[in-house]
Amino acid sequence: MAVVEQLLRSESDGTISFGNHKLAEKAKLEDFEHAGDLYKVKTYKTMTKLEKNGLFVYESVPGTSVTHFRETVEGVSFVVEGDDDAQITIGLEEETEYEVIVSDVSVGKMKTNLGGKLNISAELADSGEVSIRVHK
C-alpha cells in the first residue's frame, strides 16, 4: 500500500484516504469536501490528525497513512499503514460500547469516554498495515 500523496482524497467506493507517515515536515489540507462534509488533515511522520466539520475524527501517534476510511452510524472501518506501532484515537459517540476488530481478530469491547474518544493500539512495525473495524 502506498502513502496518500494528495494528503486527503475521495475513493470510488465512497470512502476517504488520508495521511502520509513518510513526510519529514508537517503538511495540512483544509476545506476538502467529501459527501457534503468539510475535512481537514494534518500529517507527517510523528502525527496524523483528521477533522470533519471542525470536529475530531482521527489521530495517530506516530503518523500513519489511512485508506478506505468509512464512518457509519454503527462505527468506523479503515486500513492503516505505518513504519512503527501506533496509538490511534477515534472520535465516536460518547459513553458507548464498541467491539474493536484488528486484522479480522476481535480485541474485545471498549467503551468511549465522555468526549466520545476511543484509543486503539495498532502493531504496524512488523506488518506494515492492518485493517481496523470498530462497531456497536
- Say if CB 51 and CB 10 are below 8 A apart: no
pTM of the model: 0.94
How confident is the prediction for the chain on average, in pLDDT?
Answer: 94
Q: Which of the four pLDDT bands, split at 50, 70 and 90, describes residue 127?
A: confident
Closest CA to 60 of 28, 89, 24: 89
Closest CA to 72 of 130, 135, 26: 135
Q: 38: which residues sit within 8 A by CB, 6+ positions away?
A: 31, 32, 52, 53, 54
- Give the chain's domains with CATH numbers: 8-135 (2.60.40)
* Residue 53 neighbours by CB distance under 10 Å: 10
pLDDT digits (tens, 9 = 90+) for 52-85: 999 999 999 999 999 999 999 999 999 999 999 9
